Structure 1
Amino acid sequence: MRPPMPEHGGPDGGPDATHDFSTNASPLGPPPALLSAVQQADRRAYPDPAYGVLRRRLGDAHGLRAERVLPTAGGSEGIRRLTSTALRTGRREVWVPQPGFGDYAAAAQALGLTVRPYASPTDIRPAVPALVWICEPCNPTGTSLTAWPTLGDEHLLAVDRAYEPLRLRGEAPAVPPHAWQLVCPNKALGLTGVRAGYLLAPAEDAALESALALAPSWVLSAEGVAMLTHWHDAATADWLVGARAQLRDWSIAQRRMLETLDWTQQPSCTPFWLARPPRPDIALRLRERGIRVRDAASFGLPGWVRVSAQPRRSQDALQQALLEIESEDS
């Protein structure tokens, strides 16, 4: 039986949402210079299939050899490829955060690997060689690690860092040197339609050759190459500083507004967080009004939703809709 497709936020088959609080991508991006480069990408020719210049540029930015940089067609393709690599190199379990992004488990189930959910990294105790996923900061909670799991060399540790550029407070924990890292800039840049990211392999990792062999030809489009080429530009870094400041302000205002309407909200270091409305049908009622939030039932959290910080006009629309729903039912 084919494993079910994981549920995602964003498009749901209905009319476009006027105000989308379900996405965890930045509503601010992209920075002008990077956007211009993406729009001007040469679509008439194949990119370099080895992505030599791009890999050297990314490697230099991370202080790594180019050979340790593996371009991916977005985070999901990177997750699938590393999961296949884990299988090919003798791993038989995949440990995934719960709640967490559904693609980790879906990739493992598609290959017949045993999925082991965990609530805390201290719960990770593989009995057989395993692939262990850490999302730092975590989606959907927006929380950050306090300690890394202790794992032997027979295990493959993979850290999904898609939301690190959106960290609004606190310091990022230093990633262990033996860990693989998945970097996906498109969420921070507000360019989720450009499917491009990259894996960083640990030094001398035996899985590197397998991960390289599993890459499809021309895994990145011309637009993806352009986006990643300018990801580490000084102009992009400066723009991200301002974007985080704006998202921080919007997050504070939005949390205050929801608090006045009796929503329970969890702490987060990102511009998205888990919230529990005072009524269980709120996601459906808001959707009828052109407002989308991310129902967290598929994360194993019925009654909760994930919301992201949005501009003030969207916050005003959300507040008005919630007040209307309350008045209709009073």
Structure 2
Amino acid sequence: MACPWAGEREPHGGPDAQGPARFDFSSNGNAAGPLRSVARAVRCADRSRYPDPGYNALRERLAAAHDVDPARVVIAGSASEFVHRITHGLALRGRARRALVPEPGYQEYRDAAALDGLAVSASAAAAWAAPHGGDLLWLTEPASPSGATAIGALGAGIARARRAGAVVVIDLAYQPLRLDGQALPAEVDDAWQLWSPNKACGMTGVRGAYAIAPRGTEASAAALRARAPSWVTGVDGVALLEAFAGAQAQDELARSLARLRRWRSALAALLKAAGWQTREAASVTPFFMARSPAPIDFAALRARGIKLRDTTSMGAPGWVRVSAQPPLALAALAEAIGRPAASLRTGARVAGDSQ
């Protein structure tokens, strides 16, 4: 079978071959971070030793934070690593023959399915299409690149898929960053929950994630733990996950969300004033989709230290994903797209907005 990647991998947000962008609107990491308590824990991690290969204390801490049995917790090297591990495991056992993936959406779901020879159904409505036994249903809540939420339909969708015999995985990478405060419905307990809090921590360079298996599927969780490479995440990832589960990190996150709301409003106002089409009203996250009134010269922007996330590889050609950034970055973007910095009225610096 041909590799789904023709040469180079599809681009991601964040650093590229040119290194980090000074003004990076392409990354979904918390631009008001890093969370200080998490950064301190990572700095203090003992890198002279291996972590516990079973991650027992970490799984107990995460289980307590989610009020679940530790036997349901699976540690992962990253969200992407888990996407491939669960897809491969289900394909090998004959539990998955088709992947239902959102479009626009994260390319990794489709890539993992293609590598294991699964059929792929990708559409905006794939999440709520009639699933069948043998389906691997991927949901992202809130969604990327749009930041939109389907939380009102999530519980019913999970229940319908489970009755049909499908395996449901909800990617919750952006749940900690949601700006509307909506909690997840109880039905998520019947789906795989994939959490990768490095984005919320503002520390995307620290790799580490975890999944919570559906209730009653502890054997499946154990099987996926057994399929992991030894020491699938290092001590810095362990430190990040442990610290993020603590009350101090959650307090710091809540304060950062207030700042991100202001920055997102300023970004949307800037783009609208420049004639861009924006979809921030549909987003419950610090990022949203936008379309320029003219073709974007990505190379010219990159030369000015500015990076936007082209969403073509995510199934939304002609659009970009942009994330809330500090006032200095907004001023640079305003200059680059021909708007005076004075137009950033809603982005004027306020107390605490020193970044």
TM over 0.5: yes
What is the alpha-carbon root mean square deviation over aligned residues?
1.7
> Contact 2:137–2:166 at 8 Å: present in 1 too?
yes
**1:11-63 deviation per Cα after TM superposition (whole angstroms, max 9, x unaligned):** 22125422111101111222222211101111111111111111111111111
Q: For residues 128 and 248 of structure 2, what CA distance do their matches in structure 1 show?
A: 41
What are the ranges of 5 or more consecutive residues in structure 1 without an aligned counterpart?
326-330
Q: For residues 175 and 111 of structure 1, what CA distance do their matches in structure 2 show?
A: 31
Letter in 2 for 1:281: I
Q: For residues 251 and 19 of structure 2, what CA distance do their matches in structure 1 show?
A: 35
Letter in 2 for 1:245: A
Q: Confirm whether residue 97 of structure 1 aligns to residue 110 of structure 2.
A: no
Per mean C-alpha deviation after superposition, the further-off stretch among 262-271 and 281-290 is 281-290
> Contact 2:132–2:166 at 8 Å: present in 1 too?
no
Q: Confirm whether residue 316 of structure 1 aligns to residue 331 of structure 2.
A: yes
Q: For residues 231 and 11 of structure 2, what CA distance do their matches in structure 1 show?
A: 27
Q: Confirm whether residue 295 of structure 1 aligns to residue 327 of structure 2.
A: no
Q: Confirm whether residue 249 of structure 1 aligns to residue 262 of structure 2.
A: yes
Letter in 1 for 2:334: Q
Letter in 2 for 1:100: G
**1:274-301 deviation per Cα after TM superposition (whole angstroms, max 9, x unaligned):** 0001111243332232211011111222
Q: Which residue number corresponds to residue 348 of structure 2?
A: none
Greater helix share, structure number:
2
Question: 1:296 and 1:175, CA in 2 relative to 1: closer, same or farther beyond 3 A?
Answer: farther
Secondary structure in 1 aligned to 2:170?
Answer: strand
> Contact 2:38–2:243 at 8 Å: present in 1 too?
yes
Q: Confirm whether residue 280 of structure 1 aligns to residue 291 of structure 2.
A: no
**Residue of structure 1 aligned with 2:178, choices 153, 167, 175:** 167
Secondary structure in 2 aligned to 1:207?
Answer: helix
Q: Confirm whether residue 139 of structure 1 aligns to residue 149 of structure 2.
A: no
> Contact 1:9–1:22 at 8 Å: present in 2 too?
yes
Letter in 2 for 1:188: A
What are the ranges of 5 or more consecutive residues in structure 2 without an aligned counterpart?
341-355
The number of equivalent residue pairs is 325
Letter in 1 for 2:32: L
Q: For residues 286 and 71 of structure 2, what CA distance do their matches in structure 1 show?
A: 34
Secondary structure in 1 aligned to 2:34?
Answer: coil
- Tell me the CA shift for residue 273 of structure 1: 0.5
> Contact 1:121–1:147 at 8 Å: present in 2 too?
no
TM-score by length of 1: 0.94
Q: Which residue number corresponds to residue 158 of structure 1?
A: 169
Q: Confirm whether residue 223 of structure 1 aligns to residue 227 of structure 2.
A: no
> Contact 1:41–1:223 at 8 Å: present in 2 too?
yes
Secondary structure in 2 aligned to 1:202?
Answer: coil
Which structure 2 residues correspond to residues 9-28 of structure 1 after superposition, within 5 A? 9-28=13-32
Which structure 2 residues correspond to residues 229-244 of structure 1 after superposition, within 5 A? 229-244=242-257
Q: Which residue number corresponds to residue 68 of structure 2?
A: 64
Q: Which residue number corresponds to residue 328 of structure 1?
A: none
Secondary structure in 1 aligned to 2:17?
Answer: coil
> Contact 1:73–1:197 at 8 Å: present in 2 too?
yes
TM-score by length of 2: 0.87
